[in-house]
Structure 1
Amino acid sequence: MYEQETFEVILTRMLDKVPDGVDKREGSIIYDALAPAAVEMAQMYIELDINANLKFADTASGEYLDRAVAWSGITRKPPTKARWSASFRDNAGKPVDVPLESRFSTGERVYRAVERITAGQFLLESEVAGAEGNEYTGTLLPIDYIAGLTTAELNKLLVPGEDEETDQALYDRYQDKVSRPVTSANKYQYELWARENSGVGKAKAFPLWNGPGTVKVALLNNEMHAPAEGIIEAVQQYIDPTQDGMGEGAAPIGPVVTVVGAEEVPIDIEVQVTLASGSTYEGVESLIETGVTAYLKELAFADPLVRWTRIANVILDIPPVIDYSNLLVNGGMSNLEIAPGAVAVLGTVKVT
């Protein structure tokens, strides 16, 4: 909006207002007097441009984006805490029940017991919200003494912790709501309900999937993979907890809603490449994995066709790759069509 208001333009305009009889060359008294003011005014225009962009959802960020989309009822998802199953045993290997709210450390992170699952098995929750609580499996150390406890193990991640929703993800949900007819429990409404839950990146609704009065909602997490069972269950409880059409959740009376994770379809890649001097097959494999993963994320619930040529382009765009041959995608040299409700994910990559 104010791109033309640069230091040079402002200073020239100011100097033009000085009588011609005055020395206006760089280094002159009047030049040196006006230049600092021109710098400050140029900075002011930069700030004005930034502030103008912060008023609109497509260019806003942070709290300004929150405020720009608030009128639509969309709010940013807060960070959530990871939940794990953990086992506790005595020196004879027998299960030990620990007190609820007991705290355990991995050295870097602290978890607390919030629910008993069965004898010696408890649900532990990270004390710190965010994805960092997902990163450890193994031995736990009790922070306070617990009689009879010899070993404590963090076993399985049940509900992944999620970081605060990103600006892009928030804006995407906002765009979905304002650009699609979300109303009266149509299929877009079900997708919006699903995406209101932490850990859900995308959702796809399938009306009448099992006959009249049935709706299936398939989910993806923020990495465009099938989400953890805990997230699927949370969405089920939010939309239709009883699955009897009684309208006990967000869904109205009538439809029976089934929430599932998307079926993952692995994409395996084999290719022969000619490499630039000093490059390694391992390094190229890593770059292919990064590029193809990004491509597959773009396709998730948006385009059912995995194109052989796009994967070939990813390989050719890697600087160390001079040329390639015998590119096989899932054993063939053709496009792959992904079924509705499924998602293509990277499988194995073999470079020779």
Structure 2
Amino acid sequence: EGGIERTPATKAVRAGEFTAGITIPPGSRFFVDNLYFQYTGGGTLECETAGEAGNAGISGQNLLPLDTIPGLEKAVVRDILIPGREEEDDNSLRARYFTRVRREAVSANKQHYKQWAEEVDGVGRAKIFPLWNGAGTVKVVITNANLEPASDILIKKVKDYIDPDEGQGEGQAPIGAAVTVESAVWKEIEISASVLPELNSSIDDVKAEIEKGVLNLFKKMAFEENTVRLSQINNIVYNSASVSDYADIKMNGAAENLVLSDVEIPKLKEVTILEQTR
């Protein structure tokens, strides 16, 4: 009714490392760890399986070529350039539906630019900065589908979709709009605490449980909140089943809230746990 369709699963794009100086025909197929990839040119590989399967931790593994490629002696899969994403869930679909029917994203307003950026395959969230460099300028800052900094390939995809020829109206953006697309940047955060584990729990159990809670918090916060609150970390430690008592929780060495810049997303660098004595 509203012209909104569920976004299908997308395929992961990864970098590949191959024998120097040889030509690999686009469409050449490779196999690794029960996954098939096709070479798409420029040293990139696209997973044939849509969804998060292509995001697997296979970086550094050897690729088995399924086609004869003269001179190929080295074929290694490398980092994820554009993460694969599962089919859109109901909550996301519902949110986009209400954005459309309430006409929140219209006439190239901020919400419209956000919508354009986030409908590009591989983009997770976008933040819009109007008039950032004078009249007619718009900056779009994006994360990838895993809510991490975006690759150059993904940045180019968004730029080409919204404003491929600056100001000419050849993309989604109107004539006269000069659009700049950039990646979000990490803000590394170290968590430390003094903890008394439960009798049947170890320090390793405590650390793993706190890490899991903090990672979930940071993923939810990406481009949604600009302040990591000490109370949020306290709640994670307090609600950890492996923790009996705790004290002296700090972020980056200080017992205070941590404010992110407009383009930063939080990244857990390390959790340091000092064990209390009974």
After superposition, residues 142-221 of structure 1 pair within 5 angstroms as 142-179=65-102, 181-221=104-144
The structure having more radius of gyration, on CA atoms, is 1
Q: 2:29 aligns with which of 95, 99, 103?
A: 103
Shift of 1:344: 2.0
Higher RCO (C-alpha 8 Å, min separation 6): 2
Shift of 1:288: 0.9
Rate the CA distance shift 1:197–1:213 in 2: closer, same or farther, 3 A. same
Amino acid at match of 1:149: L
What residue in structure 1 maps to residue 216 of structure 2?
Answer: 294
How far apart, in 1, do the equivalents of 2:21 and 2:170 lie? 38
Moved more, 287-296 or 251-260: 287-296
Counterpart secondary structure, 1:127: strand
Counterpart secondary structure, 2:50: coil
Shift of 1:227: 2.7
Whose helix fraction is larger, Structure 1's or Structure 2's? Answer: 1
Gap runs ≥5 in structure 1:
1-70
Q: Work out whether 1:264 is the aligned partner of 2:190.
A: no
Q: Does structure 1 conserve the Cα–Cα contact (< 8 Å) formed by 2:52 and 2:86?
A: yes
How far apart, in 2, do the equivalents of 1:233 and 1:250 lie? 14
Q: Does structure 2 conserve the Cα–Cα contact (< 8 Å) formed by 1:160 and 1:228?
A: no
Q: 1:141 aligns with which of 58, 64, 69?
A: 64
Rate the CA distance shift 1:160–1:283 in 2: closer, same or farther, 3 A. same
Moved more, 249-258 or 159-168: 159-168
Shift of 1:177: 3.7
Amino acid at match of 1:300: A
After superposition, residues 1-352 of structure 1 pair within 5 angstroms as 71-89=1-19, 95-115=21-41, 117=42, 122-135=43-56, 136-137=58-59, 138-179=61-102, 181-242=104-165, 244-352=166-274
Percentage of matched positions with identical amino acids: 39
Gap runs ≥5 in structure 2:
none
**Normalising by structure 1, what TM-score?**
0.72
Whose strand fraction is larger, Structure 1's or Structure 2's? Answer: 2
How far apart, in 2, do the equivalents of 1:180 and 1:105 lie? 46
- Measured against aligned partners, the alpha-carbon deviations of 1:166-189 in whole angstroms (never above 9, x if no partner) come to 222222333444456322111111
Shift of 1:295: 2.1
- Measured against aligned partners, the alpha-carbon deviations of 1:260-287 in whole angstroms (never above 9, x if no partner) come to 1222212210111011112111111111
Q: Does structure 2 conserve the Cα–Cα contact (< 8 Å) formed by 1:159 and 1:229?
A: no
- Measured against aligned partners, the alpha-carbon deviations of 1:275-316 in whole angstroms (never above 9, x if no partner) come to 111211111111111212222233332322211011111100
Q: Does structure 1 conserve the Cα–Cα contact (< 8 Å) formed by 2:83 and 2:145?
A: no
- Measured against aligned partners, the alpha-carbon deviations of 1:215-265 in whole angstroms (never above 9, x if no partner) come to 1111123433223332222111111112x2111110001111111122221
What residue in structure 2 maps to residue 6 of structure 1?
Answer: none
Counterpart secondary structure, 2:128: strand
How far apart, in 2, do the equivalents of 1:294 and 1:305 lie? 15
Rate the CA distance shift 1:314–1:85 in 2: closer, same or farther, 3 A. closer
Q: Does structure 2 conserve the Cα–Cα contact (< 8 Å) formed by 1:102 and 1:144?
A: yes
